[in-house]
């Protein structure tokens, strides 16, 4: 018997199958690339049940798999992208081929490193990326020179740069190292290149950036370039029971 609930929105069903995020599923529907029971959809305003036949991009929609979440230690010089027209390495070049199709939760730019969460559930990806989820992203950064207390107070109050408003950013000093300073940065929004932009704006450009935590999930001692599955029980606990029933733990590593 299928575990797909009756009356589930079509975009959510596609996301749960791990094909893409719900937003991308809605885009595919608008482009006429989704059909249900032989009829091409023009709107995502449709509920589907376990017996409906769904085709996306000409391929039958796979059965929804139990949600899985992985921690990946992304190295510098690797893109958080499926492919790159310039031929630069991507995270998928570093992941073991036996893993299911995974999508990143948030992004790290090519020059950044550290914790990147990966999931097979597009709906979970969307949930974890929403600012309303309230999870704090924490980074360890090396910046030029020692920031002044009044500069850090500006960031804690929120700051607007080139018309983009950034919410409160907490910065604490870790240690000085010659002309550089290591700082710890905590924020909730995670806008594109947020840490780099705000620190450069106050005169302390970032020369190294490492994400050490995303909400309750920590980078810990996971070696660079390796991936490890989060215990499904832990995922359920952290999401308040929102994840599907547990699956066998599969710890996969690759240097």
pLDDT tens, per residue, the chain with 255 residues: 344 445 789 998 898 887 887 888 999 999 999 999 999 999 999 999 988 999 999 999 988 778 899 999 999 999 999 889 999 999 999 999 999 889 999 899 999 999 999 999 888 888 898 878 889 999 999 999 999 999 999 999 999 999 999 999 999 999 999 999 999 999 998 899 999 999 999 999 999 999 999 999 999 999 999 999 999 999 989 887 544 443 333 333 433
Q: What is the CATH number of the domain that holds 115?
A: 3.30.70.580
Q: Are the C-beta atoms of residues 124 and 244 closer than 8 Å to each other?
A: no
Distance CA 128, CA 139 (A): 17
**Residue range of the domain that includes 117:** 69-131+216-238
Residue 39 class from Cβ within 10 Å (0-12 exposed, 13-18 middle, 19+ buried)?
exposed
Q: Among all residues, which ones are annotated catalytic?
A: 109
CA 114 distance to own-chain centroid: 12
DSSP 90: B
Coil, strand, or helix at residue 110? coil
Q: pTM of the full predicted structure?
A: 0.79
The residue whose two tokens read 């796979």 is 62
Together in a domain, 198 and 73? no
Q: At 243, phi and psi to the nearest 5?
A: -90, 155
* Count: domains in the chain: 3
Together in a domain, 122 and 141? no
Distance CA 154, CA 176 (A): 21
Distance CA 253, CA 64 (A): 25
Q: What is the CATH number of the domain that holds 25?
A: 3.10.290.10
Distance CA 102, CA 122 (A): 9
């Amino acid at each position: 018997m299928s575990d797909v609930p009756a009356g589930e929105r079509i975009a959510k069903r596609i996301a749960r199958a791990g094909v893409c995020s719900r937003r991308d599923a809605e885009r595919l529907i608008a482009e006429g690339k989704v059909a249900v029971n032989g009829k091409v959809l023009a709107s995502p305003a449709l509920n589907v049940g376990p017996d409906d036949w769904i085709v996306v991009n000409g391929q039958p929609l796979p059965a929804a798999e139990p949600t899985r979440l992985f921690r990946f230690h992304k190295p510098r010089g690797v893109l958080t992208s499926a492919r790159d027209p310039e031929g630069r390495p991507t995270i998928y070049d570093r992941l073991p081929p036996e893993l299911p199709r995974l999508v990143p939760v948030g992004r790290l730019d090519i020059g950044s490193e550290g914790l990147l969460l990966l999931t097979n559930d597009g709906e979970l990806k969307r949930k974890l990326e929403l600012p309303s989820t309230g999870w704090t992203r924490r980074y360890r950064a090396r910046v030029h020179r020692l920031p002044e207390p009044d500069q850090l107070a500006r960031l804690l109050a929120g700051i607007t740069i080139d018309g983009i408003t950034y919410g409160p950013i907490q910065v604490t000093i870790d240690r000085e190292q010659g002309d550089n300073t290591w700082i710890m940065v905590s924020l909730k929004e995670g806008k594109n290149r947020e840490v780099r932009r705000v620190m450069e704006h106050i005169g302390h450009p970032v020369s190294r950036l490492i994400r050490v935590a995303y909400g309750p999930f920590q980078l810990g001692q996971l070696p660079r370039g390796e991936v490890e599955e989060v215990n499904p029980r832990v995922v359920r606990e952290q999401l308040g029971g929102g994840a599907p029933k547990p699956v066998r733990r599969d710890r996969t590593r690759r240097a």
